[in-house]
Structure formats: structure tokens, C-alpha cells
Chain A
Amino acid sequence: QSVLTQPPSVSGAPGQRVIISCTGSSSSIGAGHDVHWYQHLPGTVPKLLIRGNNNRPSGVPDRFSGSKSGTSASLAITGLQAEDEADYYCQSYDSSLSGSWVFGGGTRLTVL
């Protein structure tokens, strides 16, 4: 069971907008720790999509955006494209016990 909770799957048609949620707790996202997002295609290396809640690294299309509020965060993808079909993970830090970096369980995006 992951410290951060994501829906197992989301889907959308090409051109549509989807949102992936990430719910944490008072010791993770709610404690003010930043949320980051990764895209992972099978057989490849995870790719950083969003850093520091809502910042895109260079090369990431502006179709991808992040937000954070309270103990939750979300990733929005607009203008869905076939190549967006992948697994998406949120990541943060949890300061309970001795502290640990934490991932969500991952969300499989299917482009219909």
C-alpha cells in the first residue's frame, strides 16, 4: 500500500483532457513537501514531467501541468495524444518516522 494514493487507471480520447490525482497525508504533501510527477513507459527509464508541484523541465510540452493543494496534488494532461499512453507516478517526501521519499502507486493512462 503506497503512502500516496493514485487512481489505478484513467482514460481519455485523443484531444481530451484528463486529470490524475495524488492524495497524501499531513506528514507528506500536507507537511509542505513538494510533489513531482514522472512518466514511465514499459521498458524505458522514468521521465521527470513536473518538478516542484507545477514546474516543467525543459523539453516537456505545456500540455502537462501540475498543481497542489492541502494534502493532495494533481497532474493535468490536455490535448491527449497516443504517445501519452503510459504509467504516471507522483512522488514526494514523508517526514514521519525517520523520513522517506514516497511514490504513489501509479496510474495507467489509456488513450482510447
Chain B
Amino acid sequence: QVQLMESGGGVVQAGGSLRLSCAASRFAFGTYGMHWVRQGPGKGLEWVAFIRYAGGKKQSAESVKGRFTISRDNSKNTLYLQMNSLRPEDTAVYYCARDLDGYFDLWGRGTLVTVSS
């Protein structure tokens, strides 16, 4: 069925790097904008980054600007999030989500990132 599946989460020390992937199945991935959204422990949902369908336009939250980079490979139906200079406050479940007219209509199950100090 139509789905998104994240991978790449894990435990990393503060200052380290991690690359998340999100594999899309059974829909025209290359025609949709895509997002990363996260939820820290005991916290609400926080938008992280967006990339347009062709990858030309990217936007990111102020909290991750300069540290996180969103990218995509439409030939592999895969979305990425390169996370550098990680901080303990980046600890969260990271979801990839599909954009449809400004809202998130399809979500992955999430991958947990833990940044230890």
C-alpha cells in the first residue's frame, strides 16, 4: 500500500552526525513536496524541513538551519535528512510526511534519534 518508511535513527553523541532516510512506496514520489517533522520526548510536533517535488526549493526551521540538510533522490523514491552538529535537544522521533496543499496527508512511522551529552 501507499506508505513511507523512515530509517537511520540511533544513538549519537552531541556534536555528531546522522543521516535519516525515508523510502516511499506505491505513489508518484517525484510529484510531491516532502517534509521532516519531529516530536521530542514529552513535547509536541515540530516541523523541521521541506523540499519541493523537484528538489529545487528547500526550507528549514530556524532551530536546525545551518545544521540539517534535506535532500531527495526521485530515482530512488527516497527522502533524506542529513543532521550535523547534533545537540541533546535534537533528541526526538523523526517522521517524514508528504505535503498536499500545505498539510501532511501521509506520515511514516518515525525513527528515533537520541543525542547523548
Binding site for B on A (CB under 8 A): 2, 33-34, 36, 38, 40, 45-46, 48, 51-52, 57, 87, 89, 91-93, 97-106
Contact = CB atoms under 8 A, between A and B. Distances in A.
Interface residues on B, range: 20 to 34
Which secondary structure dominates where chain A touches chain B? Answer: strand
A2 B103 contact: no
Interface string B94-109: 0100001111110111
Nearest to A34: B102
A72 to B, nearest CB: 18
Given A38-B104, A100-B62, 4 more contacts: A45-B95, A46-B107, A48-B103, A97-B62
A58 to B, nearest CB: 12
Contacts of A33: 102
